[in-house]
Amino acid sequence: MSLVEVTNISYKYPNGYLAVDDVSFSIEAGENIAIIGQNGAGKTTTVKMLNGLMKPCAGDVLIHGESTKNHTTAQIARKVGYVFQNPDDQIFNPTVYKEIEYGLKKQKLTMSECEDRIKEAASLTGMTDYLGVNPYDLPLSIRKFVTIASVIASNCDVMIFDEPTAGQDLDGLNRLSGLNRILTKSGKAIVTITHDMEFVADNYERVIVMCRKKVIADGYARDVFFQKDIMDRAMLKQPAIVRIAEGAGLQGNILDVQEMAAACRVYDFSTNKL
Ligand SMILES: Nc1ncnc2c1ncn2[C@@H]1O[C@H](COP(=O)(O)OP(=O)(O)OP(=O)(O)O)[C@@H](O)[C@H]1O
Ligand SMILES: [Mg+2]
């Protein structure tokens, strides 16, 4: 049984707009997955159905084999944590400490367990120095890490990060890469929505491509990024390294700098041959 099983889900907003149409995929423990797609493709709507914020109008989402239809959002949120695309839709406590603590209140933890979780989540996300600060005195890029810390502290089996790369500098991106590695290593499934194709190429083995309400590809980044028809259809730019590899006619679906360097060492630029 998969950790998450999404079967033929669709979602219609109250105004009648169909935002997600017949989407299926599954998620296993320890997987690190990127969901990519143009604006309005239906990415956020899809992941909100994974943690019960929205219930599908058709199809089903099973978490550990149990349908989200039979559980409240609060019950599902203990298993599937969601970091909102806009942190300001999530944050309402007066300090970073209280914000991280909030989600833990409904879990039956002792005070010291609670404190340990908060400190660990703050340390992992680089929030330790900000624990006493009002989140709204911090820049948006840091507020995003406050919301990520809240979800990490809740220790859910699945953690969904909606556009964590937006507005992040290199330090923020490196921190996100490190978090992905640590969390997946400990068995968590991480699902990240992002528009940063370079970040995806560097950090994710599996990508799910959404286009106009549907999943149009689900596979290894190494394969999907080289399917130009899929990338074009989804209005996505191939990562620079993929465009260079294709332009130079290099074999082997090169996706990282080490592989590119190795291919260049054996490439004869005078004859354009390996
Ligand atoms: N509350 C709503 N009522 C009606 N339509 C909505 C609502 N929220 C989103 N939509 C529409 O549903 C579609 C999918 O939205 P969604 O937020 O899931 O896209 P997305 O892939 O996350 O896009 P982005 O990359 O811009 O975040 C969009 O056309 C959007 O305008
Ligand atoms: Mg979105």
Q: Pick the atom of ligand 1 nearest to 41's CA.
A: 21
Q: DSSP secondary structure string, 24-91?
A: EEEE-TT-EEEEEE-TTSSHHHHHHHHTTSS--SEEEEEETTEEGGGS-HHHHHTTEEEE-SSGGGT-
| Residue 267: band (very low, low, confident or very high) from pLDDT cuts 50, 70, 90 | low
pLDDT in tens, 169-188: 999 999 999 999 999 999 99
Residue nearest atom 28 of ligand 1, based on CA coordinates: 40
Q: What is the pLDDT of residue 250?
A: 87
Q: What is the pLDDT of residue 248?
A: 86
Q: What is the pTM of this model?
A: 0.95
d(CA 27, CA 30): 9
Nearest to 78 by CA among 63, 99, 98: 63
Residue of 9, 45, 51 with the most ligand 1 atoms within 8 Å of its CB, for mutation: 45
Q: What is the pLDDT of residue 253?
A: 92
d(CA 124, CA 258): 28
Ligand approaching nearest to the C-alpha of 48: 1
In percent, how much of the chain has pLDDT > 70?
A: 97
Residue nearest atom 24 of ligand 1, based on CA coordinates: 39
Nearest to 50 by CA among 223, 127, 33: 33
Q: What is the pLDDT of residue 108?
A: 85
Of 78 and 218, the one with more pLDDT: 218
Do 77 and 151 touch, CB atoms closer than 8 A?
Answer: no
| Residue 82: band (very low, low, confident or very high) from pLDDT cuts 50, 70, 90 | very high
Distance 195 CA to ligand 2 centre (A): 10
